[in-house]
Amino acid sequence: MAYTVTPTPAGPVGSQYCVCKVELSVCGQNLLDRDVTSKSDPFCVLFMEVNGKWVELDRTETAVNNLNPAFAKKFVIDYHFEEVQKLKFALFDQDKSSMQLYEHDFLGEFSCTLGMIVSSKKITRTLLLGNGKPAGKGMITIAAQELSDNRVITLSMAGRKLDKKDLFGKSDPFLEFYKPGDDGKWMLVHRTEVIKYTLDPVWKPFTVPLVSLCDGDVEKLIKVICYDYDSDGGHDFIGEFQTSVAKMCEAQDAFPLELECINPKKQKKKKNYKNSGIIIVKSCKITRDFSFLDYILGGCQLMFTVGIDFTASNGNPRDPSSLHYINPMGTNEYLSAIWAVGQIIQDYDSDKMFPALGFGAQLPPDWKVSHEFAINFNPTNPFCSGVEGIVQAYSACLPHIRFYGPTNFSPIINHVARFAAQATQQEAASQYFILLIITDGVISDMDETRHAVVEASKLPMSIIIVGVGNADFAAMEFLDGDSRVLRSHTGEEAVRDIVQFVPFRDFRNAPKETLAKAVLAELPQQVVQYFKHQNLPPINSEPA
């Protein structure tokens, strides 16, 4: 039981691309009783694996005399989808006031990845002792929650009979929205566009995060100021008012909310002053801007399929120069790519059964070429159990097939697209398909592949292509629409960019995690983009 103890919580672990923060709540059940005269006084310590060592991130309070504690202190962690974030929850019975863990009795521990917790939202597992045996009947329950307010507010504003500020014309009005800052001063949050030459402006609807507008507090006062635009920057003040989001939400499409725009100086000077015009809230709607983690915590499953290139250009797998040659370490570039991507994605699929398909080989017994075959030779059940199952099926099939050609991608893309098309019947975001294609070279059926990708861009699926070997991968870069929109040979544009291409050679000497980060970096936004485009909420989403 070697733990690295850091008295202060470790800094942010992982890359700077933090998707968001996750809050973990921990409860224990039926913990071991280590105290003679009373019950155990448990506390929980959270460790994260950093460079192969367990580093302490934080610990909870101590629950006195309690074998079924629910800890009030929460653990907050930066969540990175594209990394394997290994966590260990260790429970101890507090015996002394020491910070050193060896001074306290060990009650059991549980290790998993953060991905496992968020994909289940809540897990209950057996606590284990150092020897791997159960810690009595001790169990631990961990629940995850995203720590962010994902609500956005959409406002549609207009004005009526605003004060005329320009000598030879009307006004050029715009609005500014302010919230109270921590220093007590008003802080600018949003500025509308300028509407020229009118005293009755209608501004375009705009959307801002609720946290930006009022810190998420709908009762908080906000100030709205109306100005007349001047090109020299000396904008003329028309009037102002204070309101709250709760008040503005009273506005409905048929019943707009009218608020008087007041100029305090004019109000003091003129006895019969009413206002400097009316600002109208035509509509005010609060909705949720769902994140990738919202969809995962809501129960969305990532359905993972692997497509492997068995064309002759890979070389004879028994020859050490072949890309399919399994070296004495038991690996090659194909296996490295499968492991890098699979070990992340497998946490997000509850049954961990993954179809693994091959293309470009002749198959026994009649040696016909196939561009879409199950590598376990079971066409009715091409599923492999976990990433290990894919690796075993891959190694087992190599001696039984003849590498051939050509390199056709479209059959495998269309195969996964058929399943993704069935999932479009879903009323909430329950399934998203990911196809990993590993290939050594140039695509033979480019027109068909472009067409297949453009069609797939309308479906809940993404395609990851890892190029192995040293071939020319220009065609793959073309499919990855980062620099321009992909078109099919008929001219139809892809609805969204769903292809991510990475050449393995760029990562040969890098730590294995860097390949996964590069390959999976765009996936969360692709998932969110699809479900938003289809207007599909997470399965268990709360109303805004």
Rounded-to-integer distance, Cα 398 and Cα 303, Å: 25
Q: Is the pTM above the cut of 0.85?
A: no
| Torsion (CA) 101, 103, 105, 109 in degrees, nearest 10 | 10
Please report where in the chains the tokens 């930006």 appear, as a residue: 212
Provide the pLDDT for residue 2: 42
Burial readout 501-539 (b: 16 or more C-beta within 10 A, e: otherwise): bbbbeebeeeeebebbbbbbebbbebbbbbbeeeebbbb
| Torsion (CA) 207, 209, 211, 212 in degrees, nearest 10 | -60
Q: How many residues does the chain have?
A: 544
Going by C-beta distance under 8 Å and a sequence separation of 6 or more, which residues neighbour residue 316? 322, 403
Residue 398, helix vs strand vs coil:
helix
Residue 302 located in a structural domain? no
When computed from its CA atoms, the radius of gyration of the chain, rounded to whole angstroms, is 30
Handedness of CA 531, 536, 540, 541 (dihedral sign): positive
pLDDT exceeds cutoff 50 at 478: yes
Give the strand pairing for 461-467 and 499-503: parallel
Both 277 and 410 in a single domain? no
DSSP calls for 46-81? EEEEETTEEEEEEE----TT-SS-B-SSPEEEEE-T
Beta bridge partners, 210, equal: none
Rounded-to-integer distance, Cα 301 and Cα 288, Å: 21
Both 82 and 140 in a single domain? yes
pLDDT exceeds cutoff 80 at 326: yes
Give the model's confidence band at 234: pLDDT under 50 very low, under 70 low, under 90 confident, else very high.
Answer: confident
Rounded-to-integer distance, Cα 188 and Cα 181, Å: 9
Tally the C-alpha atoms within 13 A of residue 146's C-alpha that lie toward its C-beta: 22
Both 326 and 463 in a single domain? yes
Please report where in the chains the tokens 């909705």 appear, as a residue: 287
User: How many domains in the chain?
Assistant: 3
Rounded-to-integer distance, Cα 307 and Cα 312, Å: 16
pLDDT exceeds cutoff 70 at 462: yes
Residue 303 located in a structural domain? no
List pLDDT tens digits, range 32-74.
Answer: 998 778 889 999 999 999 989 999 999 999 998 999 999 999 9
List pLDDT tens digits, range 121-135.
Answer: 999 999 999 999 999
Output 12 or 355, whichever has higher pLDDT: 355
Averaging pLDDT over each range in 145-149, 283-287, 490-494, which range is the top one?
A: 283-287
Q: Tell me the residue range of the domain where 495 lies.
A: 319-502
Both 83 and 188 in a single domain? no
C-beta separation of 528 from 298 below 8 A: no
Going by C-beta distance under 8 Å and a sequence separation of 6 or more, which residues neighbour residue 352? 346, 385, 386
Going by C-beta distance under 8 Å and a sequence separation of 6 or more, which residues neighbour residue 350? 119, 120, 301
Residue 293 located in a structural domain? no
- Between the alpha carbon of residue 420 and those of residues 410, 423, 426, 455, the distances in Å are 15, 5, 10, 11
Please report where in the chains the tokens 């196809």 appear, as a residue: 435
E-strand ranges in 412-515 read 431-439, 461-467, 499-503
Rounded mean pLDDT of 497-515? 90
Provide the pLDDT for residue 338: 94
What is the domain-level CATH number for residue 259? 2.60.40.150
Residue 2 located in a structural domain? no
Residue 379: cis peptide before it, omega within 30 degrees of 0: no
Both 162 and 61 in a single domain? no
Going by C-beta distance under 8 Å and a sequence separation of 6 or more, which residues neighbour residue 231? none
Both 488 and 365 in a single domain? yes
DSSP calls for 225-275? EEEE--TTS-PEEEEEEEEEHHHHTT--SSS-EEEE-B-HHHHHH-TT---
| Percent of the chain residues topping a pLDDT of 70 | 95
Both 198 and 277 in a single domain? yes
DSSP state of 391: H
Provide the pLDDT for residue 204: 97
Q: 141-155, 249-263, 469-483, 504-518: which range is least confident on average? A: 469-483
pLDDT exceeds cutoff 90 at 477: no
Provide the pLDDT for residue 6: 36
Rounded mean pLDDT of 238-245? 97
Going by C-beta distance under 8 Å and a sequence separation of 6 or more, which residues neighbour residue 507? 514, 515, 518
List pLDDT tens digits, range 393-447.
Answer: 999 999 999 999 999 999 999 999 999 999 998 888 999 999 999 999 888 999 9
Residue 312 located in a structural domain? no
Rounded-to-integer distance, Cα 520 and Cα 531, Å: 18
Both 159 and 95 in a single domain? no
Mean pLDDT of the chain: 90
Residue 414 located in a structural domain? yes
Which tokens sit at 537? 């909420």
Provide the pLDDT for residue 11: 33
Give the model's confidence band at 528: pLDDT under 50 very low, under 70 low, under 90 confident, else very high.
Answer: very high
pLDDT exceeds cutoff 60 at 296: yes
Give the strand pairing for 301-309 and 353-359: parallel
Q: What are phi and psi of 502, to 5 degrees?
A: -135, 125
Q: 339-348, 385-394, 477-486: which range is least confident on average? A: 477-486
Q: Which of these three, 147, 165, 193, is where a domain ends?
A: 147
pLDDT exceeds cutoff 60 at 498: yes
Provide the pLDDT for residue 19: 55
pLDDT exceeds cutoff 90 at 106: yes
Rounded mean pLDDT of 209-222? 93
Rounded-to-integer distance, Cα 250 and Cα 248, Å: 5
Rounded mean pLDDT of 262-280? 93
Which tokens sit at 91? 């429970």
Output 43 or 480, whichever has higher pLDDT: 43
Rounded mean pLDDT of 504-513? 88
Q: Which of these three, 87, 120, 147, is where a domain ends?
A: 147
C-beta separation of 372 from 310 below 8 A: no
Rounded-to-integer distance, Cα 277 and Cα 254, Å: 21
Residue 325 located in a structural domain? yes
What is the domain-level CATH number for residue 398? 3.40.50
Both 270 and 364 in a single domain? no
Rounded-to-integer distance, Cα 119 and Cα 298, Å: 8
Give the model's confidence band at 481: pLDDT under 50 very low, under 70 low, under 90 confident, else very high.
Answer: low
Please report where in the chains the tokens 């561009």 appear, as a residue: 371
List pLDDT tens digits, range 65-87.
Answer: 999 999 999 999 999 999 999 99
Residue 159 located in a structural domain? yes
Rounded mean pLDDT of 495-507? 92
Both 492 and 393 in a single domain? yes
Rounded mean pLDDT of 324-330? 93
Rounded-to-integer distance, Cα 97 and Cα 345, Å: 42
Provide the pLDDT for residue 10: 33
C-beta separation of 146 from 297 below 8 A: yes
Provide the pLDDT for residue 167: 67
DSSP calls for 98-138? -S-GGGSEEEEEEEEEHHHHHHHSEEEEEEE-TTSSEEEEE
Both 131 and 216 in a single domain? no
Both 128 and 169 in a single domain? no
